[in-house]
Amino acid sequence: MKLTITLILSIVIATSLCAQTVSHKEKYDSDFMFTDGLYLDKDDFKKNLPIDKSQIISGIDPTDLTYFEQLVEQKTINLFDRLGNEISVETNKIFGFCSDGTVYINHNGTFSRIGIIGSICHFLGTKTVTSNVPTPYYGYYGRYYSPIYRQNSTVEPQQYLYNFETGDLLEYNPHNLETMLMGDPAIHDEYTALSRKKKNAKLFYYMRLYNEKHPIYIPVYE
């Protein structure tokens, strides 16, 4: 009985997905609402074509506002792919998800909200920093020996840049922004000509300038 239901469901899902066609592409702005769902890879995000809740096999209440947040706490997620096949994916390998029109990207084991979306995206994520901490070592009679070093890892906040077209993800700093700006020689050369102090001060400005000159267009489906 369960096998029959699964087979029927997979056929229905595959048929409905095949029927989806791009109605048009919209120029992205802050009012644009991405389709809610699970992004298996960067192309799902670019195409605005995530895995819908109806394709996901889960005991979580689909009407719960924190549905996707709860879903990605699992190590694996079972779902029907675009061909209607039932598969299991490792959560740490998916790109991210969209919940209530807000996009979250998977990086360093956490799902962070993409605050700025454009040709160059920006988000606040985390970074694991590992350092060697010396521990004093004393032998018999209090004799001091060379310290023993142990590794200490801490998770710190870190800003990132994400290239919408290529999927390149880099830390947010002047050098990496220069790399992202290479798609527009005029903006790139203008930024690289600035002093180090001004480069730091105008990171955000030049990122926004690039996005204004190179808008992205998002597919919308019937």
Higher confidence at residue 30 or residue 139? 30
Domain boundaries, the chain: 2-221
Which whole number is the average pLDDT over 135-148? 58
Quote the CA–CA distance of 40 and 28 in Å, as a whole number: 21
Q: How far is CA 216 from CA 102, 164, 210, in A?
A: 17, 8, 11
- Predicted local distance difference test score (pLDDT) of residue 205: 98
CB neighbourhood size of 54 (10 A): 13
Confidence of residue 222 (pLDDT cuts 50, 70, 90): confident
Q: Count Cβ atoms within 10 A of the Cβ of residue 169 and give its class: 0-12 exposed, 13-18 middle, 19 or more buried.
A: middle
Higher confidence at residue 73 or residue 153? 73
Answer yes or no: is pLDDT of 175 > 90.
yes
Quote the CA–CA distance of 105 and 38 in Å, as a whole number: 10
The residue written with tokens 């890892």 in the block is: 153
183-211 per-position pLDDT tens digit: 999 999 999 999 999 999 999 999 999 99
Q: Read off the pTM.
A: 0.83
Q: What percent of the chain has pLDDT over 70?
A: 82
Quote the CA–CA distance of 164 and 42 in Å, as a whole number: 8
Quote the CA–CA distance of 138 and 136 in Å, as a whole number: 7
- Predicted local distance difference test score (pLDDT) of residue 56: 98
- Predicted local distance difference test score (pLDDT) of residue 142: 52
Answer yes or no: is pLDDT of 49 > 50.
yes
Answer yes or no: is pLDDT of 150 > 60.
yes
- Predicted local distance difference test score (pLDDT) of residue 55: 97
Which whole number is the average pLDDT over 162-174? 97
Quote the CA–CA distance of 191 and 210 in Å, as a whole number: 11
Report the Cα–Cα distance between both ends of the chain, in Å, rounded: 33
Quote the CA–CA distance of 206 and 204 in Å, as a whole number: 6
